[in-house]
Structure 1
Amino acid sequence: MDANETNIEDNIWAGILCAVFFFLIISLLAFPNGPFTRPHPAVWRIIFGCSVLYLLMLQFFMFQNYKTIMNIFYWLDPKLEHFHINMEKEYGANCSDLSFDRIYSTIDVFAWGHFLGWAFKAVLIRHAGILWAISVMWEITEITFAHLLPNFVECWWDALILDVLICNGLGIWVGLRICKALEMREYKWASIKDISTTTGKLKRVVLQFTPESFTSIRWLDPKSTAMRFAAVCQLVIFWQVTEL
């Protein structure tokens, strides 16, 4: 690749992409295998390399001021300079109106985001108590920081009933049911060539992207030590910081 003698920004961007590309190649060859083996350990080594790059980027941003960080984002994507959040829809207005139309109007793409997000979190954590603790604590976090982010302003019935009980609760229940079903699944390592039907072949391809096995996890039990309890509390706190 030849350097552009007139456009230094293109040269910097090309250099960054090249450095990222070779870092991911090194991660593919040198990083250790993780707990996931499907569809292939090499895929997860590349994903781990992307996670390391993301962590390094966050560490770099920690030493920059707000203006510098925003200028970097504007340079990466100039459209962000004129981007603004559409706040025409107010979730915390007219909370005394409990009509069906008012409640139905609050069910939008964010409701599905709550449901799907907590279903995936349940698959990751697999403990109902911790999941409910994180769910309730996150709603408290939204109330605490509502003065900073207008999207956090919600009616009490929206936060407690729609979010925590219905969307989050159903997501947690579905995720735990998925875990229970997958733990009882019987794997048949037949070659795809031996499957005669098209539906069976497609099902076999989809199963290739699922974990090789599932292990039942007990985060807390009556014999847990104080250090174990402290570690679980630390997990909950870090999860809240990541969500924020």
Structure 2
Amino acid sequence: MGTAMTKPETKKSGVGGKSSSAPAVKQDDNGSLEVGCPDPSPCCKAKVMRQTSKESLLHRRHAECEVYDDGTNTFFWRAHTLTVLFILTCALVYITLLEETPRDTAYNTKRGIVASILVFLCFGVTQAKDGPFTRPHPAYWRFWLCVSVVYELFLIFILFQTVHDGRQFMKYIDPKLGVPLPERDYGGNCLIYDPGNTSDPFHNVWDKMDGFVPAHFLGWYIKTLMIRDWWMCMIISVMFEFLEYSLEHQLPNFSECWWDHWIMDVLLCNSFGIYCGMKTLGWLSMKPYQWQGLWNIPTYKDKIKRIAFQFTPYSWVKFEWRPASSLRRWLAVLGIIFMFLLAELNTFYLKFVLWMPPEHYLVLLRLVYFVNVGGVAMREIYDFMDDPKFHKKLGQQAWLVSAITVTEFLIVVKYDPKTIMLPIPFFVMQCWFLGIFLIFIWTLWRFFIRDITLRYKETRRRRQEVRADLDRPVGDGSTAAPSGRSKLNGSSETLRQRKS
């Protein structure tokens, strides 16, 4: 598996070629490529559209940085499909011929399921389709793609069980599970300075300083690297705090003090994580991406530096979401924000309905999973939005992450519908209806009323220009009389040329 990319070069076909049917390519003032076609045939127009799509994609992909890769095909980058197949076969032969099968049915069932998952992961790591990321290794991202498939299948299995059987099935993973657990309430006494406690008047602040404080910072640092936009991150951060306010009657875990919501979470942890993430994004966008084979580097210091840079992106693409540019992008950005908030809520609701404590390793593994697949999914969504002619379908990791998020929510709805259907307070409903109504009104004005108004003004301006041209005096001082054909259609000589 060699290094996948080399230093990009623009195609020379069609630029200064001698063939009259080849589309001509020229460069405008902005540096973008403009393709012209002297032959107005449908075939030539199709070639122009394909050429324009490829050149625009190439220009967008390498607008931030030029990538240099010496193309060194080392042992690390080769595809070891036969090696993996040989090792897997030897392991199965050993289990079949040399190992005695235990008489424990439950143990054999667990081991058989784990072995099936491992065989599927071996197949996916060596044979699955590559995603948009290549560092630190394409096999790493193929591994997480297969984990997504396994996790979605597990969720589907849980979804098809009864509530009792699904919760008791968790005992097969950890015998400590399957027991209802109390939720911790972060509300209660919200005094920052409690004069009644003379020994420690700031005990309320120290009680809130648990493991979730660094988790908030680290989580929003990673989310910023995924989304790559300051405004979207801040909107999602503030919206989630509003969701906690709105749903604290359902989960006691959402009940927090006002200063815990806005000072500790939004202003300190989330904002500082977003700030550090944006600084990292700025460094990645300015970093020169020069990839050289490890054995071609002379000094050990540079070798260690090259190994460390292996865990940085291969190249860098800046995300420009531009939600107000079109209705399609606006709806896509709203959908991304909605799915992010739904995935955040699933974290709290899943452990509530499946009786998992917050510090359990399964909760941590789920967060680690989303950290590894979220960046790939966001890149695939952005490519699908930014260049739909080239990316004609949604990426595989983005599709799986969306399906997993929806399946998790359906499990929550099935396992505890009473909690989900608890009535929301009236004043909270009023606030949400007002926000949704304002978004709807702005969408209607921006993409429908405003566009119709601009088209009407442009049409009226053109009509006024036509009248001014008709009323303009000719050589003898008389005005030009209309000849039955509008000036918009051109002169009679132009019409004859069009007909010919």
Common topology (TM > 0.5): yes
Quote the residue 1:20 is aligned against: 117
Q: Supply the AA of the counterpart residue of 2:341.
A: Q
Structure 2 distance, partners of 1:67, 1:203, is 53
Structure 2 distance, partners of 1:221, 1:232, is 6
The question of whether the paired residues in 2 share the 8 Å contact of 1:4 and 1:10 is answered with no
CA shift, 1:234, in A, is: 0.8
Structure 1 distance, partners of 2:139, 2:274, is 31
**1:180-199 equivalences in 2 (<5 Å):** 180-193=282-295, 194-198=297-301
1:91 pairs with one of 179, 186, 209:
186
Quote the residue 1:158 is aligned against: 260
**1:74-153 equivalences in 2 (<5 Å):** 74-81=171-178, 84=181, 87=184, 91-98=186-193, 101=202, 102-153=204-255
Secondary structure of 1:80's counterpart equals coil
Q: Give the length in aligned residue pairs.
A: 240
Structure 2 residue 300 is the aligned partner of structure 1 residue 205: no
Structure 2 distance, partners of 1:158, 1:5, is 53
Secondary structure of 2:151's counterpart equals helix
Cα–Cα, structure 1 residues 42 and 5, in superposed 2: closer, same or farther, change >3 Å?
Answer: closer
Structure 2 residue 338 is the aligned partner of structure 1 residue 237: yes
Q: Supply the AA of the counterpart residue of 1:32.
A: K
CA shift, 1:196, in A, is: 2.1
Quote the residue 1:56 is aligned against: 153
Structure 1 distance, partners of 2:192, 2:291, is 56
Q: Which moved more, 1:50-59 or 1:112-121?
A: 50-59
CA shift, 1:85, in A, is: 5.9
Secondary structure of 1:188's counterpart equals strand
Structure 2 distance, partners of 1:35, 1:191, is 21
Structure 1 distance, partners of 2:215, 2:274, is 13
Quote the residue 1:65 is aligned against: 162
Quote the residue 2:320 is aligned against: 218
CA shift, 1:190, in A, is: 3.4
Structure 2 residue 137 is the aligned partner of structure 1 residue 40: yes
Secondary structure of 2:190's counterpart equals coil
CA shift, 1:86, in A, is: 7.8
Any unmatched runs of 5+ in structure 1? none
Instruction: Considering Cα pairs closer than 8 Å and 6+ residues apart, tell me whether 1 or 2 has the greater RCO.
Output: 1
Identity %: 36
Cα–Cα, structure 1 residues 74 and 192, in superposed 2: closer, same or farther, change >3 Å?
Answer: same
Which string of whole-angstrom CA distances, capped at 9 and with x for unpartnered residues, describes residues 149-180 of structure 1?
Answer: 32221100110111011110111111111111
Cα–Cα, structure 1 residues 68 and 54, in superposed 2: closer, same or farther, change >3 Å?
Answer: same
Cα–Cα, structure 1 residues 7 and 163, in superposed 2: closer, same or farther, change >3 Å?
Answer: same
Structure 1 distance, partners of 2:149, 2:247, is 29
CA shift, 1:54, in A, is: 0.8
Structure 1 distance, partners of 2:242, 2:340, is 14
CA shift, 1:229, in A, is: 0.4
Q: Supply the AA of the counterpart residue of 2:147.
A: C
Q: Supply the AA of the counterpart residue of 1:133.
A: I
CA shift, 1:84, in A, is: 4.2
The question of whether the paired residues in 1 share the 8 Å contact of 2:221 and 2:277 is answered with yes
Secondary structure of 1:148's counterpart equals coil
CA shift, 1:145, in A, is: 2.5
TM-score, normalisation: structure 1: 0.89
TM-score, normalisation: structure 2: 0.45
Q: CA RMSD in A?
A: 2.2
Q: Supply the AA of the counterpart residue of 1:173.
A: Y
Q: Supply the AA of the counterpart residue of 2:176.
A: K
Q: Supply the AA of the counterpart residue of 2:156.
A: Q
Structure 1 distance, partners of 2:168, 2:303, is 49
Any unmatched runs of 5+ in structure 2? 1-94, 195-200, 346-500
Structure 2 distance, partners of 1:134, 1:155, is 20
CA shift, 1:131, in A, is: 0.8
Structure 2 residue 112 is the aligned partner of structure 1 residue 11: no
